[in-house]
Amino acid sequence: MSIVKSLSVGDGDMFYIRHNSDSFTILDCCMLDDDRVDIIRELRAQSSDKVIVRFISTHPDDDHIRNLAYLHAQMNLVNFYCVENEATKEDETEDFMQYCALRDDTGRRFYLFRGCTRRWMNVSDAERDQAGIQILWPITTNEYYREALARARDGDNPNNICPIVRYSLEGGPTILWMGDLEADFMDNIVNAIEIPRTDILFAPHHGRDTGMVPTDWLEQMQPGLIIIGEAPSEYLNYYQGYNSITQNSAGDITSDCVAGGAHIYVSDPDYEVDFLNNEQKTNSYGSYYIGTLTTRA
């Protein structure tokens, strides 16, 4: 069993994975000053029995690194994962400077690229099992990706330097994150990679139209559930024809991943959907059970 939680943090992203191994992963950081103490308390509690704690940063925009300096001060991020980049900002906030310090720290950083391997991220040994994390993108030689890196280096929007991160539980669900990749960029690279079948997709760019996943990738993934983020509703794409949960309405979303499926819980007691199986689970994780997503072979 593993737990994947998408925290309801407003117009931003923050997730964690409590693996069924000796690992705990935090993906992106977006904490307001008035909720950061509670979030840190939860992260500490959920990771207290894990030896390996890693942080994956998709890209250094404020809504993905907000209060990163506070997170590092409280949890000492000794394993910091990001793509190799030289992103700059005209407004160098404390959190952006913290991102750059961790990104450039040879003792902490690990650079992500398609097919990269790392002990305990996706390689097991006699000491402990792997965490089930694979990196599907970037291909660092791709011309469109190199252009995105150059734009980020020159202070432009870094959305398109995001990696594509895939988590899988053996015998259980597969889950995919795409950061804030933009639709035009994905259209340019759609033929560069294929994306395997995916049970749960976190829609890129918080579910905005500007981050609409190309049809070819959706057909390859055939996602059983698409989770749409907390962008303002007028900007959202609701992925007609696919089952979805909208975090604006659902609040925190917790996936209890087990062999054969994922039990889904949300923090809003009134939220419900009609496409999940009802396995009569009791409310848990401080949230409300809304049904179970069955994985597919």
Instruction: Evaluate the CA torsion angle 202, 242, 168, 45 in order and state its sign.
Output: positive
Copy the structure tokens of residue 287: 């949230």
pLDDT of residue 296: 78
CATH hierarchy code of domain 2-294? 3.60.15
In DSSP terms, 254 is beta-bridged to: 5, 265
Going across the sheet that includes 200-202, the strands are 133-137, 164-168, 174-177, 200-202, 225-228, 244-246
Q: Please state, in angstroms and rounded to a whole number, the distance separating the CA atoms of residues 135 and 224.
A: 21
Residues of the chain scoring pLDDT < 70: 297
- Write down the pTM of the prediction: 0.97
Per-domain residue ranges for the chain?
2-294
pLDDT of residue 297: 66
Write out pLDDT tens, residues 125-135: 999 999 999 99
Write out pLDDT tens, residues 244-294: 999 999 999 999 999 999 999 999 999 999 999 999 999 999 999 999 999
Q: How many residues does the chain have?
A: 297
Chain position carrying tokens 């089930």: 132
